[in-house]
Amino acid sequence: MTTPHTSRVRAGVVGATGYGGLELVRLLAAHPAVELTYLAGSKDGGPDFTEWFPHLAGVIEAPLHAFDPAACAERCDAVFVALPSGASGQVAAELWERGRRVIDLSGDLRVPADLYRAWYKREPVDPAVQTAAVYGLPEWHRDRIAEATLVANPGCYATAILLGLLPLAVAGWLSPAHPVLVDAKSGVTGAGRTPTLNTHLGELYENFFPYKVGAHQHTPEIEQELGRHVEAKVLLTTQLLPVARGIYAVSYVTLDRAADVGQVYALYRETYKHAPFVRVHAPGRVPQMKHVRGSNFCDIGLFVDERTGVVQVFSVIDNLTKGAAGQAVQNFNLMHGLPETMGLAGGPMFP
């Protein structure tokens, strides 16, 4: 139950009625340093949030508001904005300009204006706001996030793929002469709550298919982050699974040197030895989606095909937790000087 506490950070969620927003509410309601003071979403508002979402009865007691920026800024010290791309960034910018710490879960603040226009097919927010936003991948930008007042939470696919690829890129083992091929699969909650033909049960059940072939909007942020260390082109194929939640990404990387799986494994273990939410599987083991379901973990498995010189990197996350709400809370903790794991220590749900 959320109760007032003077030492808690007053936090709000705008977009609380979407899948990512609901996951934020679930996590923040149990966060010991948070007082949830404002919830707004696509609904018209009402006396009790749990009238719309009974599964949170007994977990939170709060009204659902029609969004009002002045009221939100007055009631909150920090705000999570979990609206669709195209709307989220504008709201995040307005609340940030009102002096609030803001974490935006959409794609609106992740890449520069030119890339945003090319991949998202719409006009970006003020480029100055995009420039001010810190890319919120905690394992790689921890110090910058700790000083930030505006954070662009990474995309779900990008999170899984970057955590899998950055150790090779930073070590200089990723060959720039070859594209990185990524085969990534997601649960249907990644498409949001608004129904479409492809996400209809009758269409998706017992089915499996790629979408946004060669055009997925997470591609530029992946290349942007890899590009801080090595010139890399990424060919990303995203596919929809008939499951609710989870992302499974397999990246195929050509190395610029000979290395066996033991050496690659040692590199990853050393890279992530201080990353509480990244678990690297020993050689011979690969992760499964249920290994991370409902948690903030990213599990990584590795295989080196010495015949072709290709490394297969298997990375798996829960798209709503580490891929969205959990990572946002992780960023919130860093921004407020709190332990990085606070409110996120629960283990995965299995089976």
Tokens standing for 177? 């002469």
The CA–CA distances, whole Å, from 347 to 114, 278, 297, 344 equal 40, 13, 8, 9
**What span, in angstroms and rounded, lies between the C-alpha atoms of 14 and 83?**
7
Catalytic residue check, 298: no
HSE-CB of 245 using CA atoms within 13 angstroms:
22
Identify each DSSP E strand in the chain by its residue range: 9-14, 34-40, 78-81, 101-104, 134-135, 150-152, 180-186, 209-211, 234-240, 247-254, 278-280, 298-305, 310-317
Q: For residue 116, give the H/E element and its range.
A: helix 113-120
C-alpha–C-alpha distance, residues 127 and 327, integer Å: 24
Q: Can you tell me the distance from the alpha carbon of 178 to that of 83, in angstroms, rounded to the nearest whole number?
A: 36
Which is it for strands 247-254 and 278-280: parallel, antiparallel or unpaired? unpaired
Tokens of 199: 């996400």
What is the spatial distance between Cα 259 and Cα 82, in angstroms, rounded to a whole number?
42
List, in sequence order, every residue forming a beta bridge with 279; answer none if it has no partner: 299
Q: Which of 72, 76, 156, 298 is catalytic?
A: 156
Bridging pattern class, strands 310-317 and 34-40 = unpaired
Q: Which residues contact 248 (CB under 8 A, 6 or more apart)?
A: 160, 184, 185, 241, 289, 314, 315, 316
- Tell me the catalytic residues: 156
